[in-house]
Structures are given as C-alpha cells and as structure tokens.
Structure 1
Amino acid sequence: MNKAFGSLTPGKQREYSLYIIEAKREATKATRIKKITPMILAGIGLNDKYKNC
C-alpha cells in the first residue's frame, strides 16, 4: 500500500490525504480508507473521473 501511494503524483497524494483528514469522526476516516484503498492500488486519483470532462 505504501509503495502504491508513493507512486502516485504529489497532487493525487494530496487529494487522498485531504479526503481522509477532513473527516471528523474516526469511523468516517476508517470508512473512507476502506473505500479508497482499491483506487490507490490501481493508481487512480480520487477526482480523476471529473478531470477529463
């Protein structure tokens, strides 16, 4: 997981970090981490689906 996250661009790393940090409850943070783990492993950015419109 760390290797996959490190291979992302700094902008994508920032997107994921902010997405997790902005959650107020620990339960929400855990849910978000579970949700984005497959995306990180695939090398997909959090907002990539909106960038090519």
Structure 2
Amino acid sequence: METQSQLTLLDLIEAVAEVTDSEAELVSVVRHLVNSGRVRLIGNFRGAHID
C-alpha cells in the first residue's frame, strides 16, 4: 500500500534536489512527477500543470 504525503512545491523541490545532479534534471523530474499525477501538490500550486 502506498503512503500518501501532502507536499508543497518547495517540499518536492527540496527532496528531489537531494538526489539530482543538475538543475535541468531537477526540473525534469519535478515536472514529470507533477504532470503524471504521481505527486499532487497542496497550497498555491494545487492542481497545477507544469510546462
């Protein structure tokens, strides 16, 4: 069973930044996670799609 966590965009960026090697990789991973629905954000970016 998957555990659901509530994340802000900042929380997500900080977590992904710890395991990526470049800003380009960071942006790509965050974009994929949000746009694929694997991560749902709360706060100001709730329901957002990242281009």
* TM-score category (smaller protein): 0.3 to 0.5
TM-score (norm 1): 0.39
Question: Under a length normalisation based on structure 2, what TM-score does the superposition of the two structures give?
Answer: 0.40
Question: Which of the two has greater helix per residue?
Answer: 1
